[in-house]
Chains A and B, each alone.
Chain A
Amino acid sequence: MADLAQADIGHHDEHESTGIDNRKLGMWVFLSSEFLFFGALISNYLLFKGRDFGYTTIFPIELYDIPFTSISSFVLLMSSLTMVLAHDAWSTGDQNRTRTWLLATAMLGMVFIGGQVFEFTEFVLEGMTLTSNPAASAFFFLTGFHGAHVFLGIVMLLSLYGISRRSEGLTEKQGLNLELVGLYWHFVDIIWIVIFTIVYLIP
């Protein structure tokens, strides 16, 4: 992942017409597509969440542990803050602090994933599985895909952390990678805010 820094040829004898680096623009464009992806998953859940399926079953909404999920949501939100701090530290040239905040971001992400694993386990133990009813399917699908996105983000953060441990730290070029991972990470957070509000909080 790390040295995708070299993945464009725009720098040398040509210019970027918009003034935005190719990879950054590419990330923005990609994330705009991701919004539609989660949009479809969320609509899918909304379609099924209150339906009468004509048989006895457990709905996700009966099992939510709002205080618990609020805490894990808070953890994820804080990881956005640490991500910003990591970038800030990098831009002031402080490699040590960059490393620390990167690791902190990844660990907060892992705490969130841990919370999700715990939540899923609880739900399954209480009798709601992927195949219980369409609403349960849609719930696991939506939050599962979000979890997969967080997991990918953690992998990227840890790769960046690995690179930053080299003696020269994160170079000028890799700073852009830090920014790209940051964009992605904030996107994953924003989507979680939407999911938490629509899926968990609104009855």
Chain B
Amino acid sequence: MATTAAPIKTIFRRPESSTGFWSWITTADHKKIGIMYGYVAFFFFIMGGIEALVLRIQLSVPENTFLTAAEYNAMFTMHGTTMVFLFVMPASAAFFNYLLPLMIGARDVAFPRMNAVSFWIFLFGGIFLYSSFLFGTTGPPEGGYLAEEVSRLGSSANGGWFGYAPNSGAQFSTGTVMDYWALGLQVLGLASLISSINFIVTVFNMRAKGMTFLRMPVFVWMTTVVAFLLLFSLPIIAVALFMITADRQLGTLFFDASAGGDPILWQHLFWLFGHPEVYILILPAMGIVSEVLPTFSRKPLFGYAAVVFAGAAIGFMGFGVWAHHMFSSGVTPITQAAFGLATMAIAIPTGIKIFNWIGTIWGGRVRLNTPMLFSLGFVAMFVIGGLSGVTHAIVPADWQQTDTYYIVAHFHYVLFGGAIFGLFSGLYYWFPKLTGKMYSEALGKIHFWVMFIGFNLAFAPMHWLGLNGMVRRTWVYAEEAGLGPWNMAVTVGAFTIAVSILIFMFNWWWSRRNGPESGMDPWDARTLEWTLPSPTPEYNFGVSPVVTALDDFWEKKYTTDDDGRPVRRENADLIIAELEETGLNPPAPIHLPAPSYYPFIVGVGVFVLAYGIVYNTRPWGIPLLLAGALIVIGSFVGWGVEPLEEIHEEHHEPDHDGNNDGEPAADPTKKAADG
């Protein structure tokens, strides 16, 4: 009860509300932070999706004039940047935040307020990146603008999501848009770095009693691997982004070929981050699928240890394959051979996972609910994307494919057919846990099939479009090339996907209000989060769980008969009822991290600081920079003198009779503790 010490002077009165607007701004609860990550990520998914549709309208017919070249460049750059950094990464972070503590039996992450800092820095980083549409400029080229160089959409980053130097350097990008891009990514990287440290410490230190490493759910394992990938790859992109920013702002010569700098260095640094990054995008989805398939097949995951180690192996090898993005940029033949081989080798652990998933489904009593459909879709689509990926490892073939739509087809099969199908699978799977309601199964299935058909219509034709010579990142193609009909099909597919997303949004909105009560364990599932009431109480576990087996909850509910088939234990319902009772009425007071204003203010400070750097040559730039730095430092000082905990006691059922041992009439204590 450390918090009963004398009240400490703070600048702000301690936030107290646990509902309403300010409770979200000040929260340190991993579940609320997870939900905010989810909604913000989904907002950016819509933005990135609109950009994709605009691109597809332009490409639907040959020689189209819907967009100018400048607008097209801005759209494809922001589409890629948004989907990678502002949608898939934070959407995965939403799952990590919400589920990781629940799955390992913890009350929160290791550093709850740092967790909130991650979120606010991410949110303001995203706003900063998008604010370039309002404030960003592109410098006029020598001789003024041509018609196709005019943008009617405002100016945003236009150098591709990879921002290749020297195109993104001071010489060829004279406005501020690439400053927005480089600093925006720097800020987003900072957010991810903080959260990766947080997740690693959480997994290492906050596991419930008996939750050994090899009893952790595969999703937790994949989270851990992703956190390590972030930890080791983000510093590299941070250096690269500092270098390009310095090239642009301070006149350093790192990437300026005319002064002896090395543009290829940018590619090395970017892809040394960028290839681990694609595993950062896909591994969380693989974790989700590894939870969904066993639950809906009513079998344990086939080869649990193999799946875990394959995931870790993918993580390790992911750092040794980056140059396969650069086969055509003049790297030596030895390098090409080595990286080609390493790239093929990474198919082995991926294949292990695929076969284990199939082994999990094999002979199971499969239920085809929406999460299962999305997981099966994931496996099928990811196999296609994985196979076309192996074709890039063959260097001469890659020379032919590189910078064509074949590559676009490949990475959309792994990142849309893979990552996004996996994320939707998780959204449906954990919807009951999140809301206490059940979604509409019919609408869910319609969503799946519309999206599945739209997805294949949109991305399968890109394979042959690419092999027939359609070039990436070019805003028009000639009529004579004969690419028109398939491009129209792709555009129709893209709009079909958009329709499926509208169905999903309606389902989400409607089911949250009108869905039937789901109960705590609607799927007859295996992991610890299903031992909690739905929606999850603020304190997670009424009593910290003790784990005795892999799939502990399942083992408590089921035993096996002589043929190895699962048989429900007689007392299973009783066990569930008891769990729900202790979940709703914790027998003892629980410490929870108290809300705080400071994480939000840190986010604001970083936001101001970033503008200061972009505009450091203006008279008000340096004051802005200093103001941002002061806000950040000041809020850390305020943070330092703010106590962390509150005692959680007011969340018992209102009709509870109050005879739980050790439970006083609680509220006055709580207020006192808040100081």
Contact = CB atoms under 8 A, between A and B. Distances in A.
Interface residues of A, number: 47
Given A33-B234, A137-B253, A14 B644 contact: no
A6 B2 contact: yes
A26 interface: yes
A13 B591 CA distance: 8
Interface in B193-232: 193, 197-198, 200-201, 204-207, 209, 211, 231-232
Contact of B243 (A1, A26, A32, A44): A44
A16 B201 CA distance: 10
Contacts of A133: 253, 259-260
A77 interface: no
B206 A10 contact: yes
B618 to A, nearest CB: 21
B641 interface: yes
A130 B250 contact: yes
B443 interface: no
Contacts of B641: 2-3
A33 B236 CA distance: 9
A134 B206 CA distance: 46
Interface in A27-71: 29-30, 32-34, 36-37, 39-41, 44, 47-48, 51-55
Interface residues of B, number: 58
Interface in A119-144: 130-131, 133-134, 137-138, 141
A7 interface: yes
Contacts of B269: 40
B379 to A, nearest CB: 33
B200 A134 contact: no
Interface in A92-148: 130-131, 133-134, 137-138, 141, 145
A141 B243 contact: yes
Given A7-B114, A14-B544, A26-B197, A134 B253 contact: yes
Contacts of A130: 246, 250-252
Interface stretch (A17-25, A80-88, A190-198): A17-25
A45 to B, nearest CB: 11
B250 A131 contact: yes
A9 interface: yes
Nearest to B205: A16
A47 B266 CA distance: 12
B205 A25 contact: yes
B296 interface: no
A157 B590 CA distance: 35
Contacts of B98: none
Interface in B234-253: 234-236, 238-240, 242-243, 246, 250-253
A168 interface: no
Interface in B397-435: none
B260 A37 contact: no
A39 B268 CA distance: 14
B204 A17 contact: yes
B270 to A, nearest CB: 11
A19 B49 CA distance: 46
B110 interface: yes
B645 A9 contact: yes
A52 B259 CA distance: 10
A6 B3 CA distance: 10
- Describe A's contact surface by its main secondary structure: helix
Contacts of A145: 242
A4 interface: yes
Contact of B201 (A3, A14, A29, A36): A29
Contact of A7 (B197, B238, B260, B644): B644
B436 to A, nearest CB: 26
A40 B236 contact: yes
Nearest to B112: A9
B260 A53 contact: yes
Nearest to B227: A29
Contacts of B260: 48, 51-55, 133-134
A165 interface: no
A67 B466 CA distance: 61
Nearest to A22: B110
Contacts of A53: 259-260
A14 B113 contact: no
Nearest to B272: A40
Nearest to B643: A6
Nearest to A177: B640
B251 A17 contact: no
B205 A47 contact: no
Given A8-B110, A9-B591, A37-B235, 16 more contacts: A2-B641, A7-B114, A8-B644, A9-B108, A26-B110, A30-B197, A34-B235, A37-B239, A40-B269, A51-B260, A53-B260, A54-B260, A130-B250, A130-B251, A134-B260, A137-B253
Interface of B: 2, 106-108, 110-114, 193, 197-198, 200-201, 204-207, 209, 211, 231-236, 238-240, 242-243, 246, 250-254, 256, 259-262, 265, 269, 544, 590-593, 636-637, 639-645
